[in-house]
Structure 1
Amino acid sequence: MAFYSHMLRNMRQILFRDEDQHAIPSMDGPLSPNNYLDAFTPVFDDLTDVDDVVAGPDGLYVASGHDVVLVGKDGSRATIARFEAPCGALALHPDYRVLACVAGRGLAAVRADGEVIWLTGAGGVALTCLTAVAVAPDGAIVVANGSIRHPAADWLWDLMEKNASGQIVVCNPGLGDARIVFDRLAWPHGVAFSHDGASLWFTESWAHRVSRAPWSPDGPGAREIVIGNLPGYPARLSATAEGGFWLALFALRTHLVELVLTEDGFRKEMMATIAPELWIAPQYASGRSYLEPLQGGGMRKLGILKPWAPPRSYGFIGHIDGHGEFDRSLQSRVGGQNHGVVSVVESDGDLLIVPKARGQVLGGQRQGGESRQ
């Protein structure tokens, strides 16, 4: 089978010479490696297992484990909702409801009085793998369903199986009339509206791209790819007042992982015989076991892991303008700790990030990563 796989790949390269081969782009210019994310520090010491944070008029809403916690501007704490499963992506609706993605269940809309209504399916598909949620200017709600094959916690299986079964779903403010507007997506991981509300932007992690579609009261129009070949796996994105977006990459691509994805026989045997945390695959965090796979450049010398080693895990957020061009980035390199960033938002002029390697909300300044051109 390996022989035929190589033969088919070579034939495609000969017959379709202009086809995008998805070579990993270099990290230069505004993407040049830096250590700015390493200066970010925990905002709350007691909130752990965090998956998302959003800024509201009355404070910060944090998805921490099974809870949605409101941290008021005066430092007060209130548990807005507690679910039977881990809580993921969050959004605030203009009518003051808190929207929370709950693992294995769907989207919960929590009113101020504590009442909860649910969106659990659309078009005959159960929404058990919600990865992101956003609210349109007209109050409509958009969610990303990463996969119909795996829950969000099993994202690594979805990548290694090379699935593309995700959807973007739109519903009305009351969570009714849910419909799938885009499907067969490669793990959609982030959705956001542009600052002017004229377009819907979303990411696909396994396709390493960002797309957008014009938005109207009838829903999104035809989508177009804005960034087609990112150096990593994109997660969530959030709009900025300047008209652009902050975009998180939860890991960087490597040539070794790209090779494994082309070798079906090797990959299937690896998945069947080795624990997932030891696969040749991206991770939220690394360096926790001596059994982890290594490339030559990732060998420790005198106990030091070189920052330019092939990244098994990495920390990255970047700012893109309205055309999808990067103008700055903040990073935590191979030897850093703030890896696996899945969410980034602005709050009072600073940045808040959620790195899965730490499981906490971290805060820091946004100015450090501005490009010098």
Structure 2
Amino acid sequence: MDRPTALVPRHYVAIGGRGPEDVVADARGRVLTGVEDGRILRIDRLTEPFAARVEVIAETGGRPLGLELLPDDALLVCDAVHGLLRVGLADGIVRILVDSVAGERLRFCSNVIALSDGSVCFTVSSRRYPLEHWIGDLVEHTGTGRLLRLAPGSDTPEVLLEGLQFANGLAASGDESFLVVAETGACRLMRYWLTGPKAGHAEPFAENLPGMPDNLWRGGPDGPMWVSLAGPRVPPLDLLHRATPAVRRAAARLAVRAPFRPTAWAGVLALDDEGTVLHHLTRRRSRFRMVTSVCETDGHLILGSLWERGVAVCEAPVTK
């Protein structure tokens, strides 16, 4: 991988809520996000310093994470408490699409995308740890993450892939022949084939990433696939993952009780459908920490974070 270039911040926008974990941009350049208290927010004029306007679109009553805009003025929401939701952007009505899988409560729904055939694919980060103890799953390395698909008109999801190390962000290739899913706990992206001779099979798409991948976003089939990096690689954690399950479980019990503060580091990647890295941007001693999402709008990169109380507006790189 090429040496990283600088991730250049322009300004910070407080949004009146903590933890804008995912950010997505609509056709008008507005950015939607969900915060810790369950509100879905829409931010307008974000790229103009001191001019941003924040409005509440809906309240899920849970903890919204991954978002996906739909063409019929609706929003898909992965809620860590309530499951997979559909939210009307005009009326704010929240409807539960999926709250269990084969009788098991869906308690850590993470990221979602809608495909052109009407199907919805989404991830579950962990079947063992809830969101508030997410660090326990990364430490124990449970491999209980899943990729699921909800067919058009169905209310019963099918499991496409399981055994993932903290399944997280999700994106489709430009032609929708495969999905890319982030494995935060393995610092890699996996490809799941939807069509062709490899349909139903998974393989590595990009491995040994310089950080822990979180949410994925692309603005269109011809645009790059943006990957947020929630933190840099942690060599002691990589070493711990090779320890016995008993050692990892003991370490996880300690980790969920210890105070957490993210590293003062920010990073994002952009890849094409061949897995080639187009951009690798980082910032050391960053005041904006734990970048869990990135989207592009109006010539800027917008960063979201599970940790911060606002979003960061950064300079977009020159297209290669």
Asked whether the two chains share a fold, i.e. TM above 0.5, the reply is yes
1:17-36 aligned at under 5 Å gives the runs 29=2, 31-32=3-4, 34-36=5-7
Moved over 6 A (4+): none
Between the aligned partners of 2:60 and 2:204, the Cα distance in structure 1 is 36
- The 8 Å contact of residues 139 and 251 in structure 2, kept in 1 or not, is answered as no
* Deviation by residue 1:27-81 (Cα, 9 ceiling, x = unmatched): x52x43x4424x2422345343211121123532121221001234596543221
Counterpart residue number, 2:139: 160
Task: Please give the TM-score of this superposition, normalised by the length of structure 1.
Answer: 0.74
2:289 partner SS: coil
- The 8 Å contact of residues 133 and 142 in structure 1, kept in 2 or not, is answered as yes
Query: Given the alignment, which residue of 93, 97, 101 partners 1:122?
Result: 101
Q: Percent identity?
A: 24
Counterpart residue number, 1:350: 300
Counterpart residue number, 2:230: 250
Instruction: Sort the Cα spacing of 1:164 and 1:42 in 2 relative to 1 into closer, same or farther, 3 A.
Output: same
In structure 1, the gaps of 5 or more residues are 1-27, 287-312
Cα deviation for residue 140 of structure 1 reads: 1.3
Query: Given the alignment, which residue of 41, 46, 53 partners 1:69?
Result: 41
- The 8 Å contact of residues 179 and 191 in structure 2, kept in 1 or not, is answered as yes
Query: Given the alignment, which residue of 107, 114, 127 partners 2:84?
Result: 107
2:314 partner SS: strand
Counterpart residue number, 2:277: 326
Between the aligned partners of 2:298 and 2:73, the Cα distance in structure 1 is 20
* Deviation by residue 1:305-327 (Cα, 9 ceiling, x = unmatched): xxxxxxxx531101112211212
Counterpart residue number, 2:12: 42
- The 8 Å contact of residues 129 and 137 in structure 2, kept in 1 or not, is answered as yes
Moved more, 324-333 or 354-363: 354-363
- Asked if 1:340 corresponds to 2:310, the answer is no
Moved more, 174-183 or 62-71: 174-183
- The 8 Å contact of residues 15 and 309 in structure 2, kept in 1 or not, is answered as no
- The 8 Å contact of residues 68 and 112 in structure 2, kept in 1 or not, is answered as yes
Instruction: Sort the Cα spacing of 1:272 and 1:134 in 2 relative to 1 into closer, same or farther, 3 A.
Output: closer
Cα deviation for residue 352 of structure 1 reads: 0.9
1:1-373 aligned at under 5 Å gives the runs 29=2, 31-32=3-4, 34-37=5-8, 39-58=9-28, 59-65=30-36, 66-72=38-44, 77-111=54-88, 112-118=90-96, 119-174=98-153, 176-215=155-194, 221-241=200-220, 242-264=222-244, 269-272=250-253, 276-277=257-258, 285-286=262-263, 314-333=265-284, 335-367=285-317
In structure 2, the gaps of 5 or more residues are 46-50
2:238 partner SS: helix
AA matched with 2:41: V
Higher strand fraction (1 or 2): 2
- The 8 Å contact of residues 316 and 339 in structure 1, kept in 2 or not, is answered as no
Cα deviation for residue 344 of structure 1 reads: 0.8
1:338 partner SS: coil
Instruction: Sort the Cα spacing of 1:101 and 1:259 in 2 relative to 1 into closer, same or farther, 3 A.
Output: same
Instruction: Sort the Cα spacing of 1:270 and 1:363 in 2 relative to 1 into closer, same or farther, 3 A.
Output: same
* Deviation by residue 1:300-357 (Cα, 9 ceiling, x = unmatched): xxxxxxxxxxxxx531101112211212211121x22222111111112221111334
AA matched with 1:320: L
Instruction: Sort the Cα spacing of 1:113 and 1:46 in 2 relative to 1 into closer, same or farther, 3 A.
Output: closer
Cα deviation for residue 150 of structure 1 reads: 1.0
AA matched with 2:315: Q
Between the aligned partners of 2:153 and 2:12, the Cα distance in structure 1 is 36
Moved more, 196-205 or 68-77: 68-77
Q: Which has the larger radius of gyration?
A: 1
Cα deviation for residue 153 of structure 1 reads: 2.6
Instruction: Sort the Cα spacing of 1:178 and 1:76 in 2 relative to 1 into closer, same or farther, 3 A.
Output: same
Cα deviation for residue 274 of structure 1 reads: 6.6
Instruction: Sort the Cα spacing of 1:207 and 1:138 in 2 relative to 1 into closer, same or farther, 3 A.
Output: same
Between the aligned partners of 2:181 and 2:249, the Cα distance in structure 1 is 30
AA matched with 2:13: V
AA matched with 1:143: F
Task: Please give the TM-score of this superposition, normalised by the length of structure 2.
Answer: 0.85
Higher helix fraction (1 or 2): 1
